[in-house]
Chains A and B, each alone.
Chain A
């Protein structure tokens, strides 16, 4: 039997997304997609602490898999110009 961690990677990604939404983060804005056997996480989260929690959950749920984390923290600077409509 093949490694269940690899075999069930799609379901493990789905379970990660369920936990991101259901647990303390309430996070629906992070995408997790399988690319070349690894899992790519992308998205923008509200704080550095949220980013850490996303990565911690990913390490738990996707243990044994390679995870590429491109999760960034939302920027909070004011705009330098307005759009004329």
Chain B
């Protein structure tokens, strides 16, 4: 049995892009069982922009599961953005898990926005000024919640588990971005959470200049689905179920 996961991130919708993705999304039932949205769905995180996203994905032929991105927080109203998307039927995850019933089996999705900090040997530490410690603790809390959500899915009889984040768990999929900004693009703490809890696929966005393919140190496939990277409305990954 196969589970077909469609995913895209960084669609950065605003009033001028309304309707651009809908024609492709309406064909999803032909090729996918679920659509994952990997954050940065808006430009500034305003309710107006969130309503554009909501109209783009409302009543699609497959379930939609999302995390927010940093842009979706810019207006400092992530709860409103989340509520607008949920009202349109989107399952918005922040340190949570959800299970989608597919023809090929149950797929569990654990999601969190994630945050930065960098990668092993070149990462920020939880040390020094309060703002620096809080930066790293923000990432750690997000990674811990991802770990807990993936462990929860391990108990829910899923044929496949997917980790959905906005920030990247690995540096592989940042190839093409200036190395100097990697600490703002992701954190190894997310990959450590994925590897210790277990997953079949990790999907993220955020790195517009990055690469699609990567892998965690523990061997979990990572896919950067930022729309500028995949150059499509979405990509589809077929996971072999049990």
Contacts and interface: CB of A to CB of B under 8 A. Distances in A.
Given A74-B227, A84-B238, A46 B13 contact: yes
Interface residues of B, number: 36
A82 B31 contact: yes
A81 B238 CA distance: 10
B122 interface: no
B232 A78 contact: yes
Contact of B239 (A28, A29, A50, A85): A85
A79 B235 contact: yes
B200 interface: yes
Interface in A5-54: 25-29, 31, 43-47, 49-50
A85 B237 contact: yes
Interface string B123-143: 000000000000000000000
Interface string B53-97: 000000000000000000100100000000000000000000000
Contacts of B180: none
Interface residues of A, number: 24
A60 interface: no
Interface in A42-75: 43-47, 49-50, 74-75
B236 interface: yes
Q: What 7 A-B pairs come out closest when comparing CB atoms?
A: A44-B228, A82-B236, A26-B43, A29-B208, A78-B24, A49-B16, A47-B17
Given A83-B235, A85-B237, 18 more contacts: A43-B208, A46-B11, A46-B16, A46-B17, A47-B16, A74-B228, A76-B232, A77-B24, A78-B232, A78-B233, A78-B234, A79-B234, A82-B236, A82-B237, A84-B240, A85-B200, A85-B201, A85-B238
Interface of A: 25-29, 31, 43-47, 49-50, 74-79, 81-85
